[in-house]
Amino acid sequence: MNIVLFYHSILSDWNHGNAHFLRGIVKELEGRGHQVQVYEPENGWSLQNLVEGYGNEKLDELQQYYPGISTNFYNLKSMKLDAVLRNADLVLVHEWNEHELVKRIGEHRAKAGKYKLLFHDTHHRAVTERESMAKYDLTHYDGVLAFGQKIRDLYLQERWTKKAWTWHEAADTAVFFPHERKAYEGDLVWIGNWGDEERTAELHEFLINPVKELGLKAKIYGVRYPEHARKALADAGIEYGGWLPNYKAPEEFAKYKVTVHVPRRPYVEALPGIPTIRPFEAMACGIPLISSPWDDAENLFTPGEDFLVARTGEEMKQHLQAILNDPQKACEVSGRGFHTIHSRHTCAHRVDELEKVCEQLGISEAKIYLTTKEQALHEE
């Protein structure tokens, strides 16, 4: 297939979690012989922040982890959709795009496009910013890929689309895998952004306070930490590492004994079944994971086995002590999580699911399932 993707960025993961999944999906599609082109806006905020804060050398470093990764920059006013979409078989448009772009691509599909067109939603805005999401014109789209059943159902209930599929995020196991542990540098590592005050109380209860009360050696990475957050980390004796390129996360996981997951409040209260991508990545790296409460309504995992669940801050302390003091327990938890990821939550699994959606949309199987010979020709 010739596939065209419109996303905020594939180059930058600065406060942009969808880049994690997108990179793995693009690489998997290309590995199967498909032709993939990614389009992202000129001067996108994530890439701008990355370059302004860390320089272009980080883009060179990205190539070491994702050789050949590339994008196309577009200007919404001057972009010629006829040229961009001339040979497309499948087009995906991410929800973090301008309303005007979403509308224009739909209109192009209606007038001149033979391709199949899907809208891809990987955020909680369908619930928290419903008015804005309702303004996306999906009239001429073939359907929606939603990263959770609750989001999928909402699109159908609101009649924003006629067809929708659940398409969870997953781990890119070519990059996220257990690294050799030479020596531990500390007890706990957490990689995540502060969260725009969507989980401030939870971060104190399930992360900062337990680390302080247990006297653990911990390090936290992420962006948009306000002054009060940094003071709280310092008071708890937690080292703040700032932004960490996502592809560096596996190397950091290997330096610590445990990590935690603290979901943002909208996912806990309004969107059960959606864990976001970081738990997938942590488990793929073979580090024991302890999570604050969220409802695994879609049975993605086996809570209590693939990862431990702490319902209170006190339970978090108990679980942390169990993992840190019992190597066998730590190994059991990390092993189960790792096995579950590899059995059903990799980017390869998600491309399998996408190919099934393409079948339902009527794309010919000859285009969807390339032969081994065709794949080899593509690689040459």
User: What are the pLDDT digits (tens) for 214-239?
Assistant: 999 999 999 999 999 999 999 999 99
Q: State how far the Cα of 210 lies from the Cα of 236, in Å rounded to an integer.
A: 9
Q: State how far the Cα of 53 lies from the Cα of 311, in Å rounded to an integer.
A: 37
Q: What is the DSSP string of 289-353?
A: EEE-----TT--S-BTTTBEE-SSHHHHHHHHHHHHH-HHHHHHHHHHHHHHHHHH-BHHHHHHH
> Is residue 11 over pLDDT 60?
yes
Q: State how far the Cα of 295 lies from the Cα of 29, in Å rounded to an integer.
A: 31
119 and 33 in a single domain? The answer is: yes
203 and 313 in a single domain? The answer is: yes
Residue given tokens 């919404």 in the structure block: 76
CATH number at residue 238: 3.40.50.2000
**What was the pLDDT predicted at 181?**
86
Mean pLDDT to the nearest integer, 119-125: 90
DSSP class of residue 256 equals S
318 and 363 in a single domain? The answer is: no
**What was the pLDDT predicted at 379?**
57
> Is residue 373 over pLDDT 70?
no
Neighbours of 180 (CB within 10 A): 6
Query: Could you tell me if residue 182 is inside a domain?
Result: no
Largest CA distance in the chain: 64
270 and 138 in a single domain? The answer is: no
351 and 337 in a single domain? The answer is: no
Dig out the tokens for 295 from the structure.
Answer: 């409802």
64 and 16 in a single domain? The answer is: yes
| Confidence band, pLDDT 50/70/90 cuts, at residue 378 | low
Do the beta carbons of residue 36 and residue 67 sit within 8 Å? Answer: no
Query: Could you tell me if residue 62 is inside a domain?
Result: yes
| pLDDT tens, residue by residue, 129-159 | 888 899 999 999 999 999 999 999 999 999 9
157 and 253 in a single domain? The answer is: no
User: What percent of the chain lies above the pLDDT cut of 90?
Assistant: 86
Do the beta carbons of residue 56 and residue 376 sit within 8 Å? Answer: no
Do the beta carbons of residue 179 and residue 248 sit within 8 Å? Answer: no
| Confidence band, pLDDT 50/70/90 cuts, at residue 375 | low
Q: State how far the Cα of 298 lies from the Cα of 69, in Å rounded to an integer.
A: 33
Q: Domain span at residue 326? A: 188-343
Query: Could you tell me if residue 176 is inside a domain?
Result: no
| Confidence band, pLDDT 50/70/90 cuts, at residue 118 | very high
**What was the pLDDT predicted at 374?**
63
309 and 363 in a single domain? The answer is: no
269 and 236 in a single domain? The answer is: yes
> Is residue 268 over pLDDT 80?
no
366 and 325 in a single domain? The answer is: no
Q: Bridge partners of 219?
A: 189, 239
Mean pLDDT to the nearest integer, 148-177: 96
**What was the pLDDT predicted at 227?**
95
Beta strands in the chain (DSSP E): 2-6, 35-41, 72-74, 90-94, 116-121, 143-146, 164-166, 188-191, 218-221, 239-240, 258-261, 289-291, 308-309
**What was the pLDDT predicted at 162?**
96
Query: Could you tell me if residue 57 is inside a domain?
Result: yes
| Confidence band, pLDDT 50/70/90 cuts, at residue 61 | very high
**What was the pLDDT predicted at 182?**
84
3-class SS of residue 62: helix
Query: Could you tell me if residue 327 is inside a domain?
Result: yes
Mean pLDDT to the nearest integer, 228-253: 97
Contact partners, residue 236, CB within 8 Å, separation at least 6: 208, 209, 211, 212, 218
Mean pLDDT to the nearest integer, 57-76: 96
Query: Could you tell me if residue 36 is inside a domain?
Result: yes
> Is residue 380 over pLDDT 70?
no
Total structural domains within the chain:
2
25 and 114 in a single domain? The answer is: yes
> Is residue 63 over pLDDT 60?
yes
**What was the pLDDT predicted at 371?**
73
**What was the pLDDT predicted at 370?**
86
DSSP class of residue 246 equals G
108 and 137 in a single domain? The answer is: yes
Question: In residues, how long is the chain?
Answer: 380
Mean pLDDT to the nearest integer, 192-214: 90
Mean pLDDT to the nearest integer, 92-119: 96
Mean pLDDT to the nearest integer, 169-193: 95
Mean pLDDT to the nearest integer, 183-209: 91
